[in-house]
Amino acid sequence: MALTLASAARLLSEYGLLREIIQGDAWTLDVQTINGFDKPFGSITYDTRQVVSGTLLCCKGRFKAEYLNGIDDRGLAAYVAENDFSATTTAPGLIVNDARKAMSLLSAAFYGHPQNQLKVVGITGTKGKTTTAYLTQAMLNGCSGGKCALFSSVDNCLDGHTYVESDLTTPESMDAFRMMREAVDNGMEYLVMEVSSQAYKVDRVFGLTFDVAAFLNISPDHISPIEHPTFEDYFHCKRQIVKNCRSLVLGTACAHADLIRQDAAIADIPVATFALGEASAADVTAWPKSADHSRFAIALEGEQIGSLSLQLDGDFNYANAAAAIAIAHAVGFDFHETAAKEALRNMEPVRIAGRMEHFHDTKSNTIAIVDYAHNYASVTALLDYVDQRYGKDDPEVTLVTGSAGNKAYDRRSEIVRAAQNRIDHLILTFEDTDDEPVERVCQDMLDSVTNPDLDARIILDRTEAVESTVAIDRKNPNRLHIILIIGKGNERWFKDHGKHVPFEGDDHIVERIFELA
C-alpha cells in the first residue's frame, strides 16, 4: 500500500509519535483537512538536495530551517520533524516526538515493509561482527542457492554476489529499508546485517524485528561523549537486540551472558548457544579444538555432523565460524541434510579483504598481517594469535596503528594497554578523524605508554610508517619479523573533516613494498 500523508499520520499515531500536523497557521490532528492527504508520496529522503515533486522529507539530527529555503519551488509534499518549519515552507509538517523513530517507521512503510519478505539476521558484539556476517552469508548462500544479502561495515551486497563498499556499520534506517527493497526485488530471501550499538542509540533499526539475532561478545568500546558515556550505556544499547528478535544465538563465553539470558527470558525469546572448544551437549554448536588448529569438528546438540577448515586464521575467527553455523541452524537449516552439509564447504574458501590478511616479504623474513583490529579486545585476540602461531620463533613484532578522532577516546589507551608489553615497536599513525588533529590522537596514545622498554614513536604518514618498518626489518633478514597493521583493513580512503580522502590501502601498500602485486 502506497504511503500517503493520511497513512503516515496514522502510523505515527499508532506508535505515539505524532504531536500535530501544521500547515501555515492551521494546527490539526485531522489529516483529512489537509489538501492532498490521500495522494501517495513519490519519494522519501532525509537529504534536502534530493527533494523533487511529491517528496516526503525527514528532518533528522541538527536540522536547520535554512535548509528549507526555496524548497517549495521543488515540490516538497510534506516534512516530518521535531520542530515547526511552517515559517519556511507551505508544505504540511508532521510534527513528532522523535524524528529518527518516525523516519524508520515511515521508510519501512514507503518501501512496502521489505523486511517481511526476508529472513533477517542481526549480528552484534564488540568484535567479530563483520567476519561472522560474511561467514553467515556464505552459509546461507550455500543453503539457499545464492539468495542472501549482506549489510556490513565493509561491504553491502544486495544480490548475493556483488559487493559495494559501505559507509556505516548499520545503515541509516531509510537506506536500510531501501536496500532491503532492492534485495527483495533481486530475489533475495535472506539478509545478514551487522547491528552496532549506535544503531539502537540513534534508532537506525527502530521497529525492525530480527528473525535471528546473534550476540557474540561484549567488552568496553565506543566510550566517548558523542557515542556512549559509559560501558553500561554501550552494553544497554547492544542488549536491545534481544527484545527485538524472535530467536537469539549467544556465545557461551560472552561476558555478562547471564544478564543477556535474563533479557531473553523476560521477552520470551528462545536462546541457542555456540562455543569454541570442548562444550556441553546443550550447546547448539560446539567446535572441539584440534591439535593443529587447522580443522574442526562441528557438533550440533552434542552430535558431530562434519568438519571444517578456514582460510581465516585465529581462534577468534574459528569462533566466528561457529557462530555462523549456529545462526544458520537457528534460521532453520538442518545440517543433517545434504544441502546444509554442502554449504559448510562455502565457508572454507571465504577470504575477507583486510581481515587477517597475511603477506610474506620476498626480500626478508618478514610477515605483515593487515587486520581491522581497533580496540582492546581485538588487539588482544590478534596478539594471542601471533603468540600461538609464531611465538616459538621469537619474532620481532611491530604494531602500526592509530585511533579514530573525535570518538571512542577509550580506545587510544586501551590499544596501547593491550599491546605495549607484547610487542617490540609501536608506530602511531594516521587514522580516520573528523576535526580532531591526528597529531593529538597519536600523542594521546604515546602518552599512554608506560613500558619504558617499548620503542614507541609517531609517524603521521601511514604509508611512510609501513615503508620505514619494512626497510628496518630488511636489514636483519635472519630474524622473523611480524608487522601488524591494524584499523583500516582494505579501506581505500580516510575520513577527514567529513570527507573521504583517497588512500592506497594497507594491503596494497604491503603488496607493493613486498613486490607481490
| Residues 448 and 470 occupy one common structural domain | yes
Closest CA to 408 of 433, 437, 380: 433
CA distance 517 to 510: 9
| Residues 328 and 213 occupy one common structural domain | yes
Q: Which pLDDT band, with edges at 50, 70 and 90, does 281 fall under?
A: very low
| Residues 163 and 311 occupy one common structural domain | yes
Q: Which pLDDT band, with edges at 50, 70 and 90, does 169 fall under?
A: confident
Of 292, 316, 347, the residue at which a domain comes to its end is 347
Task: Return the bridge partners of 20, or none.
Answer: 95
What nine digits make up the cell of 146? 545464492
Q: Which pLDDT band, with edges at 50, 70 and 90, does 246 fall under?
A: very high
CATH of the domain at 78: 3.40.1390.10
| Residues 318 and 364 occupy one common structural domain | no
| Residues 155 and 200 occupy one common structural domain | yes
- What percent of the chain has pLDDT above 90? 74
Q: Which pLDDT band, with edges at 50, 70 and 90, does 137 fall under?
A: very high
What predicted TM-score, i.e. pTM, was given to this entire model?
0.86
| Residues 44 and 182 occupy one common structural domain | no
Domain count, the chain: 3
| Residues 203 and 253 occupy one common structural domain | yes
Per-residue pLDDT tens digits for 223-244: 888 889 999 999 999 999 999 9
| Residues 76 and 121 occupy one common structural domain | no
Q: Which domain holds residue 25?
A: 5-110
CA distance 257 to 273: 10
| Residues 98 and 124 occupy one common structural domain | no
| Residues 377 and 478 occupy one common structural domain | yes
C-alpha dihedral (37, 38, 42, 46), degrees to nearest 10: 40
What is the model's pLDDT at position 510?
A: 96
Cβ 307 vs Cβ 297: under 8 Å: yes
What is the model's pLDDT at position 288?
A: 53
What nine digits make up the cell of 253? 563465553
> Where would I find the H helices in 348-448?
376-390, 409-419, 438-447
Q: Which pLDDT band, with edges at 50, 70 and 90, does 28 fall under?
A: very high
Please spell the DSSP secondary structure of 268-312, one letter per residue: T--EEEEEESS--TT-SEEEPPPTTSSEEEEEETTEEEEEEE-SS
